[in-house]
Structure formats: C-alpha cells, structure tokens
Structure 1
C-alpha cells in the first residue's frame, strides 16, 4: 500500500463514512493538521537547547514514525491511535528542528516570518486550486507521496546539520510538496471518506513542513 494514498476501511467506519459530507471531512482534516502543527511548534520550543546529535536522533525518530504510518496498515490510518501517532511524530520532528529554529529566531527572524508567510500562501493557493479542478488527480498521489517522504528526510537533515543545501534542491522539494498539497485537496473533494481523515492530515502536514523548510533554506541563502 503506497504512503498516504489509500483509505482504510475499519470496523464501525464503513457505514458512517458515506454519510459524512465533504465539508465535515475537510474540517476534521484541517483540525488534525492544525493540532499537529501545534505539536510541531511545541517541540521546537522544548528542543531549542538540544545538541545537534540529539536533534538528529529526534528528527530520524519522527521520520521513522512517518514511514511506519505510511506502511504500517490500518492501525496507523484510522482511529484514535492513528491520531496520537500523528501528534507524536509531529512533536518529534519539532524537537529535531528546535535548535535550528532557535538560531533563526535569534539571528534571522525575518527569514522565519517570510518562510511562514510563503508557506501559508502556498498551502492556501494550492489547496484552493485542488478543490477547484474538476479533473481527478488521485493517480498522482503515489509518486508524489514517495517523493515527499524522501524530501522530508533530506530537508530535516540539511537544516539540522546546517548544511543549507542547494537552492535548486530546495526548489524541487518545494514544488513537489506544493503539488502534493494540490492532489491531497483534490482527493479530499472528490473521493475522501471518514476513513481518509488521518492519512490525508498526515500528508498535508508533511507537505507543509517540507514547504516551510524549503523556503527557510531559500530565504536564508539569499
């Protein structure tokens, strides 16, 4: 089963899922995304004084949890456990990013603001486009999801070790993540059921992190 690409039909969900409106599903997905971002932010505050080695371990731990969520089956896609798993991996990724975010806060606060603003604009724009498009883009979910999984690892490692990375690589990561946002919102409008809420929220959250880190690298290298 590809990462973030297939709904899971669990006991007690199948009958209810068909009765839930797109608006309700959208609200639930974005609520989970918002809370996950809150855990990410909390992690950056708690982890601001971590050593580089510890931060890397946290980042790899979060990435490992993301891989488990992608390939671990229904338990990691539907229900309370899956939601808790999303929040835990968001917290771990935040802990890993803590020292880097603390550095930018102290030395380049404008870059943080620009990256956050650019991320918000990208998500709103691509999300709106995904909702508007009449064409079903579900077939693009699998290849883009795999690329984003790779990209999130590259982005986190580059930022934590202070490598910066190639602006071209950052642009590629940004573009792929933005496209996945578009596809996720398109899927949400056309196909999503109640059982898709958690994995859609996870995919959108990961894309947001990638977009933010890519813009952070691009703006800081100017």
Structure 2
C-alpha cells in the first residue's frame, strides 16, 4: 500500500487547479484535450485528498462511510430537485458563488481566530451553499445541449460532490470526537 504525505497532496492540489484552468481554455479549442485535462484533474484531485482520506480511514473509518452515505443522499435530493425544477436557478447560482467566496474568507478567519463551534458553522454553511450549487449544476445538466461544455459541467459537479463529502466528513468526524 502506498502512503501519500501531506506535501504530495498540496502539490497535487496546485497541479489540479492548474489543470482546471487549462480545461477552461481547452474547451474552446479541442474536445480531446479538454477530456484529457478532465481526467488529469480527477486524478490529481484524488491524489490531493488522498492523505486526508487515508488519515480518516486509519483513525475514524465510520466517518468515511457516514460521509459517503450522507453525500449520496444529499446529492440525489438536491440534484433531483435541480434537474426537475422548471424555475430558473441562475440567481441561486449567483448568490451561491458570492456566498462561496464569503465561506473561503470565513475559513481563513477561522484559521486565525478561535470561534466557538466555528468548524460546525463552517460545514453547515458550506452544505447550504452547495445545496444551491448542486441544484443549479444539475439544472444546467438537463438544459445543456452543447457537448463542448460537458467537461466543464462534469468538473463542476465533481467539485460540488467532493466539497459536500468533505463537509460531511468534517461533521461526522466531529460527532465521533464528542
């Protein structure tokens, strides 16, 4: 079994971010390149979260199972709602994007300032934000007829699901510490 260290995860995360930027520009030029970059992005994100998942698997494997199940139900529910609704969810996506920036700022603040139950508040806010983003992305999935946008949409849904999983993982691992 291969053990990945935190530095590998950070390097993989930075490389994944670079491949995501490359994916945005490749979509306009070449479908094959875009699909290759989508695959590279997925592998690099897997390597980026690998050290964290390895830690949880060793310390609290139940939290992984619980987070996986909760993520599946969460995505199925909000994805189905977004896919089925006729109401335009663009406004929710706009608010969700700004709220996501606010969540990043809150995360940075929480690194430096001790707020009681800050991690719990952060995770719950993240889940609320991603509920709207998942619904919007699944509505885009239903409405999209342009195959050139498929790699970007796949990356967006992948990131939605990954973030929801990580928020649930934080919640369920916190539960077992109590």
TM-score by length of 1: 0.64
User: Structure 1 pair 189/54, CA: closer, same or farther in 2 (3 Å)?
Assistant: closer
- CA separation in 2, counterparts of 1:79 and 1:50? 32
Query: Which structure 2 residue ranges, 5 or more long, are not aligned?
Result: 111-117
Taking the TM superposition and a 5 Å limit, the aligned residue runs for 1:1-222 are 49-70=3-24, 72=25, 74-75=27-28, 79-145=31-97, 166-222=119-175
What is the root-mean-square deviation in Å for CA atoms of aligned residues?
2.9
How many residues end up aligned between the 2 structures? Answer: 165
Which has the larger helix fraction?
A: 2
- CA separation in 1, counterparts of 2:59 and 2:162? 21
Query: Which structure 1 residue ranges, 5 or more long, are not aligned?
Result: 1-44, 159-164
Structure 1 residue 141 displacement after superposition: 3.5
- CA separation in 1, counterparts of 2:164 and 2:132? 11
- CA separation in 1, counterparts of 2:44 and 2:98? 21
Give the 3-state SS of the residue equivalent to 1:136 in structure 2. coil
TM-score by length of 2: 0.78
- CA separation in 2, counterparts of 1:209 and 1:195? 23
